[in-house]
Chains A and B, each alone.
Chain A
Amino acid sequence: MITLQHYLVVSALLFIIGLAGLIVRRNLIAAFMSVIIALVAANIAILGFSRWMLLGSGNIISIFVMSVGAVVVPVGLVLLSAYIVKHKKLILGE
């Protein structure tokens, strides 16, 4: 039977992957993808707790987080685009 711990472990692993990608990758797009993965991982934990406690607040918070994510993604991509246009490269530290 699936318990809360299973979802929390999945969430933790995804968050670690996102964090590792953010630290390791020098390609800006891949680093940005890692941020999205970490965001989704946090939401899995929120929804898991919400379902475990039979509360609807977690679902509402999840929708708000999704809204903020919907803002973050296009703004981040436009900033990346501006960075590419200005520096003619997509890799940090070169």
Chain B
Amino acid sequence: MITRRSARSAFIWFGFCLAAIAFLFFLLAPVVVAVSWLIFMAGVAASFRFFIKAHINSEKELYSGRIISFAKILGALAAGYLGIVLFLAIARPPFVEAPLSGYTYESSRFFSESFVSNYFIALEIVGVLLLAAIVALAIMGRSETRGEA
């Protein structure tokens, strides 16, 4: 991703990377968390896609060849290792056997009860942060539209 010359090409590799990581989340995290992350990654990819389509035509970048080679080697190593881990995670059972049912740390009941008990303040703070972000986005988008006009 970091060696692509155009942002469009980088976005394609970015999408592949997110897809592989989403698959890893399904192997590693509870289903609730994994599905949440999948939705988040889909939203991120869609946002970048629309942004690139709206703003980029043909941008060129300049950087040294030495860094490109280093980054390509690093990327190949990471992709290979991620592939091995995914293959082993599918072929072999996980390193901790997840409980199948009942009230466990992976159940939806645990999440709901945690959100309204131990993590209630954090949940409220995140809610306020999201609201502030929505308001900020509306204000910035409005001023930007005025600037274009």
Spell out A's residues near B (CB within 8 Å).
Answer: 1-4, 6-7, 9-10, 13-14, 16-17, 20-21, 24-27, 29-30, 33-34, 36-37, 40, 43-44, 47-48, 50-52, 54-56, 59-60, 62-64, 66-71, 73-75, 77-82, 84-86, 90-91
Contact = CB atoms under 8 A, between A and B. Distances in A.
A50 B24 CA distance: 15
Interface residues of B, number: 71
Main secondary structure on chain B at its contact with chain A?
helix
Contacts of A56: 105-106, 110-111, 114
B24 A13 contact: no
Contacts of B28: 7, 44, 47-48, 51
Interface in B13-46: 14, 17-18, 21, 24-25, 28-30, 32-33, 36-37, 40-41, 43-44
B74 A17 contact: yes
Contact of A29 (B7, B33, B41, B89): B7
Q: What are the 9 A-B residue pairs with the smallest beta carbon separation, nearest first?
A: A56-B105, A21-B2, A13-B78, A71-B133, A29-B7, A67-B126, A33-B14, A30-B10, A47-B29
A2 B92 contact: yes
A80 B67 CA distance: 25
Contacts of B67: 24
B33 A59 contact: yes
A71 B130 contact: yes
B26 to A, nearest CB: 11
B44 A36 contact: yes
B130 A17 contact: no
A78 B136 CA distance: 10
A46 to B, nearest CB: 10
Contact of A14 (B10, B52, B78, B110): B78
A55 B48 CA distance: 34
B140 A78 contact: yes
Interface string B77-103: 110011001001100111110000000
A74 B44 CA distance: 8
19 contacts: A1-B95, A3-B95, A7-B24, A17-B74, A20-B74, A51-B28, A51-B29, A51-B95, A51-B96, A59-B30, A59-B33, A63-B111, A64-B126, A67-B126, A68-B126, A73-B43, A73-B44, A85-B144, A90-B7
